[in-house]
Each structure stands twice: as structure tokens, then as C-alpha cells.
Amino acid sequence: MLESSRTPNHQVLVLDYHQYVSDTADRRIKQAFASRKVTIEHGDQAGTQNADYILLLIESTTMDVLHWVEHMIQQHPDKKLVAVTVGRPGQGLIPYLSDGLAGILSLHTLYTSGEAVLETIESYGVYLEQSLHSDLVRELHEQKMRDRPIKRLVLREEDVQYRLTKNERSVLQHILDGHNNRKIAELMYLAPSTVSTVISHLLKKLGANDRTDAMVTIIRNGWVDAVR
């Protein structure tokens, strides 16, 4: 355990998940929090009960690391937990902000602006690395869109143009739109028998038993976009 001797305003615990911290990194972390007592643990969660801030220092965002971050958030709902990444933070951490994570930043930002980061969290409840702002906006937009009802499924033709003929792609889009054979024939200026033949070929290519099975197949393959 490496511990500073400064008289603290708040206690900061750094949990070094990958045992990354060298003597130099240890010194720079403590310099970043001049008015706080800093403890660095090369392990899991020893000493967390006395910490006001728990900094989760990670080198990657693999599934085991994300599970650990989630576990720490659940175990310490009364603490301010901050994810600190050795490199640029990945957007995979963003969803944890809604679960109780108080901040996401890089180790470089911690070195240069550690006190300012914690002051931001104390004032506003959260800190997000500048490079992640656009990712957060995108995530919020996607969440908002997922809450809207789907108005139409649109075939992504570039994904199927080498598998299906032009007529088959058009018929498939009409099937996605819920049109029956008679309506498809009317819209495409084809004989109903021709539409039936196209659908037969289409089902065979997709390995589908019927129209519903064909829709399930293309949705599972990711060949459609949902318009909301």
C-alpha cells in the first residue's frame, strides 16, 4: 500500500485493477490531489470504507473489467466512483453513468487536472472526458430513438444486392411494408402470377418457409433499418 502523508479534505482511494501504477505514476497521482489523502491499492477494494472517492484505474474495457466496474458501483452506492483509463476512455463506460458512476477520464487528465475533476463532481455530480462528449450525445440519441415506435422497416439494399435481383429486393420491401401479393402486383405493374413466382424464388434464396419467416431472417441478418 502506498499512502500520502498530506492532511486531507477528502480521502481518495485508487484501485489499480491491472497493477499499472509505477513509482512515477504513484507520485504524479498524489501530486494531482495536493489537498487530499491518497491511497493506492494494487488489488480489489481494501480500505474502501474510509474513502470519499474511489478511482477505478483500468487499462482496458474488456468484459471482466466492465463487470468489475459494475460490481464496484453496486457495492458502493454511497461513494463517488470514477473510472480512470490509462489511454483514451472508451464509450463502453458511458452506460455506467446512469448506474451511479460519477466520472470517466483518462489518466493524463487526472495528472493535469485531478483537483478540477473532483471539484466538478462535487459541484455538478459528474465529470466526463471531453473526448467522450460526442459519444454521450450519440448514446442519448440512440436511447431516445429506441423508445419511439417503429414506423417502417427499410431494406438495406447494399447488404442484399449481391444475393437478390432488383425485383426480389423490391418485392421484399413491399413484404416488409405489409403489402399482399395483389397490392405488390399493382404497385410494381406486374401480374399477380409474376409476383408469386418472384416470392417463391425469394423464399428459396433466403431459406425461408413463408413471408413471415423471410422477414425474421432478414431482420436477424441485420439487413433492415428501423425508421422511427
The predicted model scores a pTM of 0.58
Spans of all domains in the chain:
2-145, 152-227
CA neighbor of 78 nearest in space, from 104, 46, 100, 56 = 100
The CATH number of the structural domain formed by 152-227 is: 1.10.10.10
pLDDT tens for 12-34 read: 999 999 888 899 999 999 999 98
Q: Quick one: pLDDT at residue 95?
A: 87
Q: Quick one: pLDDT at residue 165?
A: 92
CA 209 to chain centre: 36
With beta carbons less than 8 A apart as the criterion, state whether 177 and 186 touch: no
Class of domain 2-145: alpha beta
Q: Quick one: pLDDT at residue 7?
A: 39
- The contacts found for 137-140 with CB under 8 angstroms, 24 or more apart, are 139/91, 139/94, 139/95
Q: Quick one: pLDDT at residue 1?
A: 41
With beta carbons less than 8 A apart as the criterion, state whether 127 and 104 touch: yes
Q: Quick one: pLDDT at residue 187?
A: 94
End-to-end CA distance of the chain: 53
Q: Quick one: pLDDT at residue 18?
A: 87
Q: Quick one: pLDDT at residue 9?
A: 57
Q: Quick one: pLDDT at residue 139?
A: 66
pLDDT tens for 137-172 read: 776 666 666 666 777 889 988 888 778 999 999 999
> Which ranges of the chain have pLDDT less than 70?
1-9, 43-47, 139-148, 228
